[in-house]
Chain A
Amino acid sequence: MTTEQFVVVGYDGSADAQSAVTWAAKAAVALGARLRVVHAVGLLEHAGLSGHGRVDGDMACQIAADAGLDRGDVEWRVVDGDPCGALLRMAEPPDSTILLVVGSRGSGAHAGTLLGSTSLELAEHSSIPVTIVPPSAGGV
């Protein structure tokens, strides 16, 4: 029996995250893997106090489909947690995740600081390959 493999991409609705989903979808096609799009819900969003509006899972899945991935191979997950921790947990067994993908900057990050950098934190702690997708770099 072949274990199903996943590419996992973080998504917060930002432009960088959209580029990351496009790149991750193309990578999934190339690797013969499924795509899991993960949105991490923080403290404010959980309480309905986020100033960034609702994160649209359908849009994320459509972006992946537009990049050439069969819609049936895209899975949308919403989990409570910080983005880095949520993605790292997706890389743990029993899931078979072969690649983590994130945009270089999320919707809440402040330019010029490393304090809230999910991508750097992820690269430091992940035990599987991580791709950090720069803005407007959705191609593979």
Chain B
Amino acid sequence: MTTLVVAGPTGITEHDGGTYHPEQPSRLFAAMDGVRALGLEDEVVYPPIAEASLAELGRVHAPAYLAELEAFCARGGGDIDPDTYARPDSWTAGRRAAGAGLAALAELERRGEGVAFVPVRPPGHHATADRAMGFCLVNNVGVAAASRTALGERVLVVDWDVHHGNGTQAIFWDDPDVLYVSTHQHPLFPGTGRPSEVGGPAAPGLTVNLPLPPGATGDVVRTAIDGMARQTIEEFAPDWVLVSCGFDAHQADPLGELELSSGDFAELARVVAEFAPRPGRLALFLEGGYNPASIASSVEATLGALLGAGERPPAPTSGGPGLSQLQADRTERLRAIDRVHMEVGP
């Protein structure tokens, strides 16, 4: 039986923006409802979680940004932009969320098997090296990925949140040890994630953006990851697979217009699991997802597919738009990679 490592929840009592804000602690209660619905009880391991150190955060964030964020929280916090806020305890919450990811990977490595789930808040994939945005303060998946590349390992980040993970993309833009693959609704916040964004001179082609139109269904997302990105992923040969596991692509989510069911997340989980080189190398980080019921059912479906547990999820969806656009975008992407190679020279 595969072990489920749950590194969290963190952020249940911290970083509270009030009931008006969709990024709120109830999301974590819903995620944990989904974990409990698996009925695994004794097979679930909860590793101890420490706050990420400044050195660990500093692998992806600028020291000046971290100092400013800490000071801002110490002064009482407030609105950072129209979407993003901080509270006096948000600095601690951000460090604990990043620390949870590190704890998850450490536990997987110690066991040599298992699948990890990291239910934390605030989410992270919009946070850049020097900027908080899109509800995100610290890039949790980025901190975890950088902890492994520091050891000479190669990390695949698959981001199926409905929003493009601009922060993760920017942090690893020119890093040959990280392959970033994103499916996301486009156009939509943050506006990045075009097919022509393919990575920097040291990492051409190691950013793979697969934008989807509103209304896209699960079959389109599966085709994007399994069909369009598989060859790049297999050639990259990752040592770790980290998933920016947003559930706001669900059809009931209030912040996006994709049409996935929780059953689609089960299918996506099976696909990304195939990219892990061996047991104990797959971790899923909660990003977005703002409908508690769909978070719970999607967590159950996603982890259930990986562990062979839980109730049978709703049927996967199909028939939405976007398949033909994926083909056209592939050409745009290949041309962009050629341009980077030409700029770099032989």
B139 within 8 A of A: no
B205 within 8 A of A: no
Give B27 Cβ to nearest chain A Cβ, in Å: 14
Q: A121 touches which one: B22, B72, B75, B131 (CB < 8 A)?
A: B131
Interface 9-mer from A1-9, A28-36, A38-46, A66-74: A38-46
A47 to B79, CA, bound (A): 18
B133 within 8 A of A: yes
CB <8 Å contact, B191 and A82: yes
A116 with B84, Cβ < 8 A, contacts A47-B22, A47-B254, A108-B79 known: yes
Please tell me the number of chain A residues within 8 Å of chain B, measured between CB atoms.
Answer: 33
CB <8 Å contact, B135 and A113: no
CB <8 Å contact, B131 and A44: no
A107 within 8 A of B: yes
CB <8 Å contact, A116 and B132: yes
A96 within 8 A of B: no
Contacting residues, chain B, for A128 (C-beta < 8 A): none
Contacting residues, chain B, for A50 (C-beta < 8 A): 82
Contacting residues, chain A, for B75 (C-beta < 8 A): 112
Q: A108 touches which one: B69, B81, B255 (CB < 8 A)?
A: B81
Q: Using CB atoms, name the residue of chain B closest to A12.
A: B82
Q: A44 touches which one: B82, B132, B166 (CB < 8 A)?
A: B82
B43 within 8 A of A: no
CB <8 Å contact, A85 and B132: no
Contacting residues, chain A, for B65 (C-beta < 8 A): 115
**Interface of chain B residues 148 through 168 with chain A (CB within 8 A):** 163, 166
Which of B's residues lie within 8 Å of A, judged by CB?
A: 20-22, 65, 68-69, 72, 75, 78-84, 86, 131-135, 163, 166, 187-192, 254-255
14 new A-B contacts, CB < 8 A, other than A49-B20, A82-B133, A115-B69, are A43-B134, A43-B135, A44-B83, A49-B21, A79-B187, A80-B191, A81-B187, A82-B191, A85-B191, A86-B191, A106-B81, A110-B80, A115-B68, A116-B84
The 9 closest A-B pairs by CB, nearest first: A81-B191, A108-B82, A110-B78, A116-B80, A116-B81, A42-B83, A108-B81, A43-B83, A115-B80
